[in-house]
Amino acid sequence: MTVAHTYPAQLRRTAPAAATALAVGWALSGALISEAGPANAQGAPAPYQNMAPIAQYRFASQSDEIALARSAAPPSISNDADVLTLGDRGYETTVRGKNGFACIVERSWAKDFDDAEFWNTKVRAPICFNPVSARSVLPTYLMQTRWLLAGASKAQLAERTKAAIAAGRIAPPEIGAMCYMMSKDGYLGDAGGHWHPHLMFFLPHDAHGPAYWGANLPGVPVMGGDAGLDPASVYFVIVSKWSDGTPSTMGM
């Protein structure tokens, strides 16, 4: 999970999947909305109990990963953004941009620690951070990725994250932090592949709560709230088009 990309619980009940993370963290870092599918009739164990070999989380082609990362936001933003791709030890800046945005493809560990798809090798969540969130949200997910690739278990990742929050090394997002998740080619979870194209806004925990946004009400394209472990509130605003300009036909 990324402390800034984890989707609040009420969103996981209403949507198939997403970046993600608070990924970062906030991994919203989610960052991913998902629900586990039912066990099969034979009572087989859940399919994603352990981390798979890192090669299964990698792209066959770095150019394919760059293209998918850029698809998170309209080309007017993503064409001038930094692009980070997953290497053997963590994410590396593969393309240097000039507008301060950073586009990446998050993997399944941007989900909540207790998510059944935390190790799902198929998850590919394109997300493009604005300069403020690239500075104050994205680093948590990048740090957690380095820990995992260095051999940390999920339990160790959770403990290190809690310790980093307690020590202030993971801080609330800066005001103005947001990101784009508008790719129609991402895979956010087995329950539905991708969700609505949307924007995500990261805030320090807000005493007003979702009511201040009018969030989570019938007919309102805003969802969100506090993001569990991490020191953030995350709000999702659904938009009508994918990053390539084509309309989204998904209903509310």
pTM for the full predicted model:
0.85
Q: Note the pLDDT tens digit of each residue in 60-95.
A: 999 999 999 999 999 999 999 999 999 999 999 999
pLDDT value of position 228 = 66
Name the more confident of 4 and 191. 191
User: Average pLDDT in the 219-229 region?
Assistant: 85
**pLDDT confidence of 193, banded at 50, 70, 90?**
confident
HSE at residue 77, side-chain half, CA atoms within 13 A, is: 21
